[in-house]
Amino acid sequence: MPGSGRQTSRPAAGPGGRSDGRSDGVDGAATGPSGRPATRPTSRDVAQLAGVSQSTVSLVLAGKWTGRVSPGTAEAVHEAAARLGYRPNQAARSLRLGRTRTVLLVLPTLSSPFFGALYTGAARVAAGHGFRIVVYPWPDGAGPADNPFAAPHEAIDGILASSMAVEALSEFRGTPVVMLDSDPAGAAPTVDFDVADGMRRVAGHVLGLGHRHVGHVAADVDEWTFRSRGRALAAAVEATPGGRLSRVTAAIDVAAARRAAGGLLRRPDRPTVLVCDDDQLAAGAYKAARELGLDVPAGLSITGFDDVLLATALEPELTTVRLPAEELGAAGMATLLEMLEGGAPRSRSLPGELVVRGSTAPPP
């Protein structure tokens, strides 16, 4: 939604202390105070201003000068760098070091608040270590045509990939990778949500309310996270005396979920609760219920999964499992950084939290 970001106002002065009020952000070439074309300062410029040599500048700014450069000289270098607004040229740095301090974040889509939050968490940790993130949405839709996004193969040090099979990354073979929200049985280190536990909590909640015939509106997507959810629900229901499970599948799409849930609810012995694999599926279930004149939650209970925006936009608000996306991104990035420093990190799992709202009640 355009413009939905909070308004952010920033001081008008640019970096380097120039606050002359000129607004040349549109022009292709900025000009320095003297009118010459302003080519950005290099480490040589800093050296010259500080009266030392390039290598000294390099040492000082890299922070490994103790015992090799006199404190006075170091101070002079820092001051010169600050005065010129010096920032090292990334291209030259990468070329020399062979590392880019850039991580590729591979996501199935950007069209979901969930992945936005994931990015935020990852970016926070990355920034703290001087790493940059390039987002690489795996083309969704558009069919199996050739990948329209040029793969930045070698411009990255590592990969953080979410919600996909590790095999999908064969293109990047040879690059360190950490998988998020993916099958921990793969070869790569993984950071996951404990979705099985989350689903058990959902099951415990609805079974505790007295429900026995549970309808499962499952996502028609063959991915680890949904397989886990399905297994956990089935196990919990089976372990309950009198428990019974009916399952339908649907694409993650409101209209598809509505059709699938409608089919389930039209059966002569319909379930008293619909446990959905995803909040979007739950939105479809709401529609099916309303279509059949069933009141939620008095006539039918419904649960979701993920706790995205939708959950509180629906009426009644949705009982669901909150998955801490931002923490997932942060933990994943931490794991990847550990790996890049030569470690062999262990896979981890983050708990989900059951959020009980107005869509669940005892069976009618």
Partner DNA sequence: CTGTTAGCGCGTTCAG
Partner DNA sequence: CTGAACGCGCTAACAG
3-state secondary structure 129-153: CCCEEEEEECCCCCCCCCCCCCCCC
Q: How many CA atoms lie within 13 A of 274 on its CB side?
A: 39
Alpha helices in the chain (DSSP H): 43-50, 54-61, 71-84, 90-97, 113-128, 195-208, 224-238, 254-265, 279-291, 310-313, 325-340
Comparison of 6 and 96: residue with beta carbon closer to DNA: 96
Of 264-293, binders to a copy of itself (CB under 8 A) are 278-280, 283, 286-287, 290
Of 58-97, binders to DNA (CB under 7 A) are 58-59, 61-62, 67-70, 72-73, 86, 88-89, 92-93, 95-97
The one-letter amino acid code at 102 reads T
Binding mask 68-87 for a copy of itself (x = CB under 8 A): -------------------x
Q: How many CA atoms lie within 13 A of 237 on its CB side?
A: 24
Task: Calculate the CA dihedral of residues 191, 195, 198, 200 and round it to 10 degrees.
Answer: -130
Comparison of 84 and 252: residue with beta carbon closer to DNA: 84
Asked if residues 226 and 236 have their Cβ atoms less than 8 Å apart, the reply is no
Task: Supply 228's token pair.
Answer: 């886990």
The one-letter amino acid code at 152 reads P
Specify the stretch interacting with DNA by CB under 7 A; choose among 39-47, 122-130, 245-253, 346-354.
39-47
Of 167-186, binders to DNA (CB under 7 A) are none
Among 54, 83, 176, 184, the residue binding a copy of itself under the rule CB under 8 A is 176
Q: Does 95 contact a copy of itself by CB under 8 A?
A: yes
Comparison of 52 and 281: residue with beta carbon closer to a copy of itself: 281
**Rounded Cα–Cα distance for residues 257 and 217 (Å):** 7
Residue 73 interacts with which of a copy of itself, DNA, none, CB < 5 to 8 Å by class: DNA
Residue 150 interacts with which of DNA, a copy of itself, none, CB < 5 to 8 Å by class: a copy of itself
Specify the stretch interacting with a copy of itself by CB under 8 A; choose among 59-67, 74-82, 153-161, 210-218.
153-161
Of 32-61, binders to a copy of itself (CB under 8 A) are 38, 40
CA distance readout (Å), 13 to 22, 167, 219: 10, 48, 51
Asked if residues 205 and 319 have their Cβ atoms less than 8 Å apart, the reply is yes
Comparison of 57 and 310: residue with beta carbon closer to DNA: 57
Q: Does 102 contact DNA by CB under 7 A?
A: no
Q: Does 54 contact DNA by CB under 7 A?
A: yes
CB of 279 to DNA, least distance (A): 46
Query: Which residues in this chain contact DNA in the complex, by CB under 7 A?
Result: 39, 42-44, 51-59, 61-62, 67-70, 72-73, 86, 88-89, 92-93, 95-98
